[in-house]
Every structure is written in C-alpha cells, then in structure tokens.
Chains A and B, each alone.
Chain A
Amino acid sequence: MKKIKLPNPLLIFMIILGILPLLSSQHFYLHMLTLVFLFAFFSEAWNLISGFGKQFSLGHVAFFGIGAYVTGILYADYGISPWIGILLSGIGGIVLSLLIGFATFRLRAFFFALSTIACAEALRVLITYWRLGSTGLGTTIPAAKGFKYLTFSNEIYYTYLAYVLLLLAVAAAYKITKSKIGYYLLATGEDEEAARSLGVNTYRIKLIVFAISGFFTAVGGGFYCMYTRYIEPSMVFSIDFSVQFAVFAIVGGMGTIAGPILGSALLVPLSTFFRSWIGGLFTPIGFFSYGIILIVIILFIPGGIMKLISLVDEKFFKKLPIPEK
C-alpha cells in the first residue's frame, strides 16, 4: 500500500465539486447543486453507519426531522438564531441516536432496519400530535433578512453552505475510515461475532458511529428547514427521505466515500426532472419510472456506480474508497 497517494483522487474530486457553483449564476442550476450537495451530505452521513458499518437504517429521517424541528421551532417561535438552532439540532440528533441505538442495536440485521422505521414513524406521530393537534397546519419559517438568520438573497450562499456540510461529512468519513474506530466498524459490519471475539466492543462502536451519523443528519435537517422555510411532520418525517438517503448511497456504492456523492449527483437531478420538467400532471410517470430505474440498478449493478468505475479503471480508483472495496 502506497500511503501518500491515497487522498489525491478524493481531494481532486471535492475541489471539482467546489468549483461547480461558480460556473453559472442561473438560479435553477444553483438550486440543483444545493440539493445535490445536501443529499450527498445526508447520504454520506447515512453511509457511515449503514454502508461502512452495515447497520441498515431506514429511520434516518428521524434525525432529519428532529433537526428540522429543533431549528425551525426555536427560530419561528422563540426567535433564536438558526446558527445556534442548527448546533442544538446536532445535539438533538446525538441524543436521539443514542436512544434509538440503545433500543435497536441488539437486533439482527433486518429487524434493526424495521425498528429504525418504527422509531421514525413513532416520532412522526408524536410530533404531529404535539404540533398539529390544534391548528392542523405546519410551521412556516419567517423570512427575516440577514446572515444572522441564515437568510440570503443569492442562492449561491446556500449552495456553498451545503458544500461545506458535504465537505465536513466527507472529511469525517475519511478520518474515520483511517482510524481504529473505522477498522473496528468495518469488522463489525463484516462479522459482528468475529469482531467481538477479537476484543471489539461492537455495541459501543456502533453507538459512536450512529451518533456521528445522527449528528450530521440532524444538522442537515436544520439547514434544510431554513432552506425550504416550511416544515410539517408528514413532510420532514416522511419515510421517503430515509429511503432516498439509502438509495443514493446504494446506487453510488455503499461503503465507499465517493459513492453517496455520485449517487446523489445522478439521482437528484433525475428525480427533480421527473417532478418539475415533465410537469405536475405527469408526476406519477416520473416516480413510476424512478421505481423501475431502482429495480434495474439493484438487479444489474449491485455494487453501484463505484463498482462500475472500479471495473473500468481499477488502478486509478481502487484506492479512492477506503480499504478494499
């Protein structure tokens, strides 16, 4: 293993992504990039625990929703700056991840996935009950201008904020995979029993990584709520989000750092295209085809885009993801 060369492809890739927002100032283009970065970020966070650690979570929307609600409510109801709100969101994400992890990490693979859905759904119902019991409406985030309130007139600020988030997640993923925790996480994902027999406290490793993943997702949820300016339980706790985080990573390549970004870059524009360009009336056709695309990808390229790339150019990309994928 020649160590020195390792970061290069990933670094180049991230720099290229960083230049993209400067290429055009068209609002739609930037909006699309913001979404790509943001969902790549979510997918990257999901990939930490579910890709590297193989703990298949389908309840990550719980962190997303909690993040959106903490930031949104603190700002809309109490006027607290979203910057502080997002930080608190992150802490909320950590607390929630520890609770969910405590309840579900002893379950075997698929039961874990189902339990995370159950947690997210239970939370959705609770928040619905709490917020919508009287009004039946979601919460609109007031649009006060200024940096302090995370409100910008130019889309490019949002794009770069999303980019920074993605950069943080990628850096964290890179750092983790090169560390003892990362090695232990991979071992846990491969074979938990064997890992335990070698002295790995798999439960603790999973909790730590789940907390990191939950933190990022909740922070992103806070940002998302400031970006869309409207939150409603059925929306920000929708199981569709959980599935999307997973789908992007799977299509791009689970358990690789670049995978979630590639998946998001491919599928976010595609689904937006289906939703908006074909026109509202035909939206179902879009999702219909989306479903078919999903099935086709799972059946015919099970390893995702990263697998394809590694087949095409083994030498260059083999070292791009973390060890031996």
Chain B
Amino acid sequence: MAHIDEKPSENILELDNITKYFGGIHALQGVSLNIKRGAIIGLIGPNGAGKTTLFNVISGFIPPDKGIITFNQKVLNKLHPHERSILGIGRTFQLPKIFSNMSVIENVIIGLLQNSNDFSACKEQAKELLKEVELDSFSEFSPKDLPIASKKKLEICRALATAPKLLLLDEAISGLTPKETLEMVDLIGTLSGRGLTIFIIEHVMKFIMNVSQWVIVLNHGEKIAEGTPEDISINETVIEAYLGRKE
C-alpha cells in the first residue's frame, strides 16, 4: 500500500491483514496499519467499528483469526497479554479497570513490580509517577472514590509504571470536563515528548484532531482511511461514515 512509502521512519507496530469474526460477524476485516515510533496516532470510527477489538488484538486479549501483529520486529501472535506487556505494550481500558480494593499507590506498585522486586524502591518510584499525574496527595486513599478523570490518570500512571514503549489509550478523555481534557492533552504531550509512542481511541473528533499527528479511521471493522488530521477532516468517505452523523 502506498502509505508505507510515505513514512520514512521505523515502525514500532505493524498490523498486517488482521481479521476477526465474532459468531459470523466481521469485527475486524483485513486491517493493516503501521505505527511510527514516537508518534501520537488517533483511531476513530463510529460505535461498533471495531476500535476496542483492535486494541484487544494488539494487547493480546483477543486472538485474531487471521493476520500478523509485529511489535519491534517481533511477531506477537502467540504471546499472552502479560508477555506483551513485558515487551513494552501498555494499555488502558474503555471503562477504567482500577484495583479498587487497593490504595492508589498500590495500583501503581503492581505495575512497577514487573521490573523490580524491591518494594521500598517501588514505593519511591510510585510516588514520583503519581506526582507526574498530580495524584500524589491521594496515594494512600482508596481509588473507589476518585473522580473519573483521576481514575483515567491513575490507569495511565499504572500503565506507565511498566515502562511501556507503546501506550494504548482507550477513550482517554470521554466523560471529562473541558478543563480535565486540557490536562489530559498536556499529559499526553509530555509523555510523547519523552519518546513514548501513543495510540489513542477517541470519540471526540476535536480532541483527536488536536492531539494526534496521524489518524486512522475504522468503520464496520475495516480501515476506510488514514492520514493527517487535516486530510481526514475533509475525506469524503470518512465524513459519510462518521462525521456525517452529526456529533
């Protein structure tokens, strides 16, 4: 495909012809895409387009029926989710999956333990990480009572604790207030500045257009377009499938 040539730098993640059926329905249909190292990529599409399924395929929770997933020149297909995490794929979930019976800091420690056995060192590191997302004052609290924005941040923080190279964010800002959204945009910018590759699913078009450098559009399990945010916002097919629905 033509777009491969347009991207000179090395790809951190390559999907080739990923296909997944759920009881006869095509959840994903021959999806191929490449993620550039260090980029922020947006994944958009109407409800049920297969965005979360694609994330689950990348992070290993759903095995694809067909296709090859390559991460850092390594074929991932046969690896379990935890092995992919160890290789450097971190993720968040559409509805934050926080360990709600543990304290905020313990949530982060679980992530840190992947690369360390030293609890006191982990604790210090966890405090540092929490400071970055401005949750350090809640570290001994139960995350149950945190507002949704803080839960999302905690989940990102927890994923960061595993020292990922690629971070998959499933709806990082849905349900956030405008102010919280701005904070999240900042956070994502900071992380990207450190060389982390970020792949974001989002419903809010404006957000994705502001944040990402490259946008991929899914519809009915198929990739219907990809390009710079500017190109996508004027792409006929995309407008028809997605923007035309009037947000």
Indicate if A touches B (C-beta under 8 A): yes
Q: Are A198 and B111 in contact (CB under 8 A)?
A: yes
Interface residues of B in 91-109 (CB under 8 A from A): 91, 93, 97-103, 106, 109
Assess whether B162 is interfacial by the CB under 8 Å rule: yes
Assess whether B19 is interfacial by the CB under 8 Å rule: no
Which single member of B101, B117, B162 contacts A190 (CB below 8 Å)? Answer: B101
Size bracket of the B interface: 20 to 34
Q: How many A-B residue pairs have CB under 8 A?
A: 79
Interface residues of A in 179-220 (CB under 8 A from B): 180, 183-184, 186-187, 190-191, 193-202
Which single member of B93, B100, B103 contacts A323 (CB below 8 Å)? Answer: B103
Report A-chain residues with C-beta under 8 Å of the C-beta of B93: 193-194, 197
Partner-contacting stretch, out of B35-43, B82-90, B191-199, B201-209 = B82-90
Q: Give A197 to B58 CA distance when docked, in angstroms.
A: 11
Assess whether B52 is interfacial by the CB under 8 Å rule: no
Q: Are B102 and A198 in contact (CB under 8 A)?
A: no
Assess whether B142 is interfacial by the CB under 8 Å rule: yes
- Given A184-B110, A193-B93, A198:B101 Cβ within 8 A: no
Report A-chain residues with C-beta under 8 Å of the C-beta of B109: 183
Q: Are A196 and B113 in contact (CB under 8 A)?
A: no
Assess whether A16 is interfacial by the CB under 8 Å rule: no
Q: Give A190 to B162 CA distance when docked, in angstroms.
A: 18
Assess whether B80 is interfacial by the CB under 8 Å rule: yes
- Given A186-B102, A199-B82, A202-B82, A191:B97 Cβ within 8 A: yes
Residues of chain A having any CB pair with chain B under 8 Å:
1, 180, 183-184, 186-187, 190-191, 193-202, 255, 323-325
29 A-B pairs with CB atoms under 8 Å apart are A180-B117, A183-B106, A184-B110, A184-B113, A186-B102, A187-B99, A187-B110, A190-B100, A190-B101, A191-B97, A191-B98, A194-B97, A194-B98, A196-B60, A196-B80, A196-B85, A197-B81, A197-B93, A197-B159, A198-B111, A199-B82, A199-B85, A199-B111, A199-B114, A200-B110, A323-B106, A324-B101, A324-B142, A325-B101
Q: Give 5 A-B pairs besides A196-B81, A198-B85, A324-B103 with Cβ atoms closer than 8 angstroms.
A: A183-B106, A196-B80, A197-B91, A198-B82, A198-B114
Residues of chain B having any CB pair with chain A under 8 Å:
59-61, 80-82, 85-86, 90-91, 93, 97-103, 106, 109-111, 113-114, 117, 140, 142, 158-159, 161-162
